Structure 1
């Protein structure tokens, strides 16, 4: 009923309504008026509600659009964050791997350092032990050196005493000028003129020569650490025709005289032959001018070099002109050797 009346009410035609309804009672009319007013009010309310809802719908559409835009931004940001997170995870994994590798390397390095430290500690211990040994050896050697120095000083003193005694004895046995004594760099050199040991024109050692050699032999016995070199020297004159077959040159003549002295010391005085050597210099070590008789007489000599210890055979007369000779088997101790002055 209300549905049918609404258009009529809205049209405002009461007459039309009455025509339709016919005769209507007042009460019902009033009721209809009230219903109309109520319907209008409800329609207005509905219209207002519709407008409000339409406005709200528009607001919601705008909010939805804003939220969709915001959601799209959030989704993009989330995608970026996810990408960055993936990259970060990958970087973390890479760093963890690097850290693991570095840790392994560190462990290996630490192990190697520990091994090297152990090796160095062992080496240090070895060196300290070696240093201790060397220090002990150094002290022993220093003590030995001091002892050797002391013994050397004592030996020097004893040698001085023995040599002084030898010089006195030789001077008593020989004529003045027949023997000279010199000391050079630890070596004592006795120089005998030809006539101090040999009989004139002979190879026989005379009584004075034997006594002189006996004194020298005594020094050898008292100084077992000394070695004697007997050196034969001549003047520069040629060997005479009577001797040239036996002594072709002055080398052989000097050697023969040196060997005679050596054989006397070994065979007559009992000196160990290993401590003696015969050396010839011939005419090549003059001490005076060979152009006059006095100079030649000085050059015809026997020199005996006394050394503290055995050395190379050529040491006392180291020269290209020196010749070492062993005792000659067919040379007799009493063999005649004519004086060089008779060449």
Structure 2
């Protein structure tokens, strides 16, 4: 549109000059030629100007196209930037939410770690206490083992001494001695100690009790229990006034043995005790005379100290 207006202007000027010359009348040939030369020069300049103008217009159009393209690209980039910013905001919100959750989880893990550390410290303390306790128990067990071996050795020595001193009574079956671990029992049948139906010790019975007492007196880590036992035959009517039943007879016999141990042997009363069992702990069959004879007995038993 601008190019057409530019091209029509030189022709108009040319026509205007020719008309002016015609209207002005006759001019000289030199003047006319001079005007033609100027016109030719102007026309040449005009063509050059038009060519430059066309080049500029083409460059302008190209630049305008590039500008439009750049504006379109800028618009697209702006849209992309807006979308990217929205995505960044979305991701930031997600990250913040996750960060808060992770911070909460981290706080919970730290709390659990502290609790575990406290539990571990308690376990270590408990372990050390148990270890110390174990070592203490091991020491106590070792001391007890040594003491038990000493007691067993002493018990064995007591047993051997009893067997040696009561060899004849043992051979006659009047005395039996049994040792089970740290328990020692001296079993004395009735015939060596008492007359039938009586609780009074015979002279031979007192002698045997003194022999046993002298040996047991040396055992300082045991008490002595004297047990009275009978057979299952009822007390005769003649004796019922003194011994209404076998309970009383077994108790009286045990008491008389304890009296000899305390009075004659010198064993402290605190170390002595009495047990009366009547016919209720037999060691043989009461259906035979031999069995009943074995059941009528005094048992002297070494038992743990009352203080222990």
Query: Deviation at 1:223?
Result: 1.1
Matching of residues 71-150 of structure 1 within 5 Å = 71-81=71-81, 83-85=83-85, 87-88=87-88, 124=124, 126=125, 130=129, 133-134=132-133, 137=136, 140-141=139-140, 143-145=142-144, 147-150=146-149
Matching of residues 1-343 of structure 1 within 5 Å = 6-7=14-15, 17=22, 20-24=23-27, 28-47=28-47, 49-50=49-50, 52-54=52-54, 56-81=56-81, 83-85=83-85, 87-88=87-88, 124=124, 126=125, 130=129, 133-134=132-133, 137=136, 140-141=139-140, 143-145=142-144, 147-168=146-167, 171=168, 176-307=172-303, 309-310=304-305
Distance 1:85 1:51, change over 3 A: same
> Gaps spanning 5+ residues in structure 2: where?
1-10
RMSD of aligned Cα (Å): 4.3
Count of residues in correspondence between the two structures? 297
Query: Deviation at 1:64?
Result: 0.8
Q: What TM-score does the superposition give when structure 2 sets the normalisation length?
A: 0.73
Query: Deviation at 1:240?
Result: 1.9
DSSP-derived class of the 2:276 partner: strand
Contact 1:198 1:209 in 2 (8 A): yes
Distance 1:134 1:78, change over 3 A: same
CA distance in 1, matches of 2:233, 2:261: 29
1:320 corresponds to: none
Query: Deviation at 1:209?
Result: 0.9
CA distance in 1, matches of 2:250, 2:91: 103
CA distance in 2, matches of 1:78, 1:209: 129
Query: Deviation at 1:39?
Result: 0.9
CA distance in 1, matches of 2:264, 2:218: 17
Query: Deviation at 1:211?
Result: 0.8
